[in-house]
Chains A and B, each alone.
Chain A
């Protein structure tokens, strides 16, 4: 059974519908990449999964339970972690404390959280180096690592990543994608939303192409990379 199952989802903000009758499944342990031009609804999809939008129709099931009416804290507790677009780490707070905040949804003792923080700092050395600095002092790429690490701190089953490459230099993006690829190896299911289709599909198992809130194409990532529909979605006919 799929870990995440979305069926006939129509959602948006208030009267504005962004997603139209969208269906998608993500199996445990997969990396699924959703690509599409801006305005296609990629971010809205992730925000809807995290409970931040108005759902007009459709269902969302996570691990067998419906989460379509759940509040963001409930969804976090259910095991879904969201790494927001533009990273959005908390700028005036230390890196270490940002990490601790990532674990907010967990019922864990202080010692456990501290242990996880140490682990993150080992895994992402740059975070370890800057552990006591305010998050605002980190570069874009470093903040992205921090945001991903914050997501990991919640020990999620599913991680939602919203355009992690945004505004980053190519070489940094490579590193970020490498980290994302490792996540699946650690058993975490990943739903990755990206505009840089080529690179993102390179690390995914399956891909979905969105256009104006609807699915334009989907399939095996490798096959999708050379699919004509991608070209169309971005550069038109």
Chain B
């Protein structure tokens, strides 16, 4: 029987991962109006590439992290060029939102490709922090869990600061609020869109790399996590970073406690039911601005 506090810790860790994934969705959607259906696979890619680098290729962990994130960003840029650019004609109705299909397809390609390359088996993944754990109020906590939780909070904070304090970040924020006025003032909306995809891709890869030591890297993880990350983003209110973080953590806690109470079979049901409840009450999400584009 796992105690209450231990459940809380597990919930927070899971939630941290969801928060990271959710932020990736937000950044992209806010700047481009595109919901990246391949994002879950970026998460998975981060896990697997990290596993390859750190385990098979023996690259030092921190370096592996940097390379993985960089590759994720690069892949994000490729995604934008291949599956998004020119497919976002908003005037022609739903049918011309071809990016839904192409990002889905891109995700499938990533998933199949990585499975072919590395096989469908689970792969062990060493933690960033040493295996040791410490005890807090009678609860054993591994350092890796702490790393993940702190990372989610830190990334959230950094992203928030980036969007508020840097020239480019502010511009990204402006594009989200009023892309037409931004363009009129000479802000390069298109280029910023590419940047958004790079950031989103990097975030996705980062979340996978951090999460892998908790469960092991496997090429089928993309869907479940991508989905729950999206749920966190939607519940938190796209494009709010704060919302993504809070909703992510809450979602993780909810899921873990729900499973403890109702059994593992209800894991997804709980999560979706929670989403439905939130959206029925606040269709734009907890911190959503509610005045977004095609959504």
Contact = CB atoms under 8 A, between A and B. Distances in A.
Chains A and B directly touch (beta carbon < 8 Å): yes
B171 A93 contact: no
B102 interface: no
A90 B183 contact: no
What is the interface of chain B mostly: helix, strand, loop, or mixed?
Answer: helix
Given A93-B173, A101-B174, A50 B184 contact: yes
A92 B289 contact: yes
Interface residues of B, number: 18
A73 B183 CA distance: 7
A218 B170 CA distance: 41
Contact of A82 (B171, B177, B185): B185
Q: Range of interface residues on chain A?
A: 20 to 34
Contacts of B187: 73, 76, 101, 104-105
Interface of B: 164, 167, 170-171, 173-174, 177-178, 180-188, 289
Contacts of A71: 188
Contact of A92 (B173, B181, B185): B173
A88 B178 contact: yes
Given A52-B180, A105-B185, 14 more contacts: A52-B184, A72-B186, A73-B188, A81-B185, A84-B184, A88-B180, A90-B174, A90-B178, A91-B177, A92-B173, A93-B164, A101-B187, A104-B186, A154-B186
A63 interface: no
8 contacts: A72-B184, A73-B183, A76-B187, A81-B186, A82-B184, A82-B185, A84-B181, A104-B185
B147 to A, nearest CB: 32
B181 A88 contact: yes
Contact of B185 (A47, A93, A101): A101
A149 interface: no
A84 B183 CA distance: 11
A107 B126 CA distance: 45
A90 B173 CA distance: 9
